[in-house]
Amino acid sequence: DIQMTQSPSSVSASVGDRVTITCRASQGISSWLAWYQQKPGKAPKLLIYAASSLQNGVPSRFSGRGSGTDFTLTISSLQPEDFATYYCQQANSFPYTFGRGTKLEIK
């Protein structure tokens, strides 16, 4: 199985800050990577697919980069509604696997 390692597990930041979350796959997954945002008590929401493609309706302050084993999600200027938990997920092969999540908290 492909293991997905996310870092950091949590981060504190302020409105307006730039934040980057990293996800590393245990083997190459080309660009088969997605990022999700989840708020407490809610279902996850797809933000980024194919490593760098923005899902319809997602603000342009979110961006994704990477290929192979190393990927990043960047939020260019944090807004109050961005404080949530973020997960990466590999879609290269079954079993699909998620990272353990990064909780983005208000400083």
Residues binding another protein (CB under 8 A): 32, 34, 36, 38, 42-46, 49-50, 55, 87, 89, 91, 94-101
When the beta carbons of 16 and 95 are compared against another protein, the nearer one is 95
Sign for the pseudo-dihedral over CA of 7, 76, 104, 106: positive
Residue 79: other Cβ atoms inside 10 A: 11
In the complex, what is the shortest distance from the CB of residue 93 to another protein, in angstroms, rounded to a whole number? 9
Residue 17 vs 69, nearer CB to another protein: 69
For residue 93, give the amino acid letter: S
Residue 80 or 95 having the CB closest to another protein: 95
Residues in the chain: 107
